[in-house]
Amino acid sequence: MAKVRIDKDKCKGCGLCILYCPVKKLEFSLDLNKKGVRYAKGKEDTSCIGCGNCYLICPDCCIEVYEDKKEIKST
């Protein structure tokens, strides 16, 4: 499963990543970052499909998209 990591203190709260996420995975935080803006963050209950739109659209390069490689342990 894909995941996103957002550098919250670099985020200027422009909302482009939220607007262009096709599965509405991103939202604004309720709290403020060091710049005093509500930053973008991933929703807990929505799956990221790893399309990379948010990574490409962010003007300040705040977002990383990566594959979550949890080890599956056999019994």
Chosen residue from 27, 29, 33, 49 binding ligand SF4 by CB under 6 A: 49
Query: What span, in angstroms and rounded, lies between the C-alpha atoms of 16 and 39?
Result: 11
Q: Which residues contact residue 74 at a Cβ distance below 8 angstroms, ignoring those fewer than 6 apart? A: none
Residue 3, H or E segment: strand 2-6
* Distance of closest approach, residue 3 Cβ to ligand SF4, in angstroms: 8
Query: What span, in angstroms and rounded, lies between the C-alpha atoms of 37 and 43?
Result: 18
Per rule CB under 6 A, count of chain residues that contact ligand SF4: 29
Does residue 14 interact with ligand SF4 by CB under 6 A?
Answer: yes
| Structural tokens at position 27 | 């939202």
Does residue 12 interact with ligand SF4 by CB under 6 A?
Answer: yes
17 vs 72 by CB, closer to ligand SF4: 17
Residues that bind ligand SF4 (CB under 6 A): 2, 4, 6, 11-17, 21, 23, 25-26, 39-40, 48-54, 57-58, 60, 62-63, 65
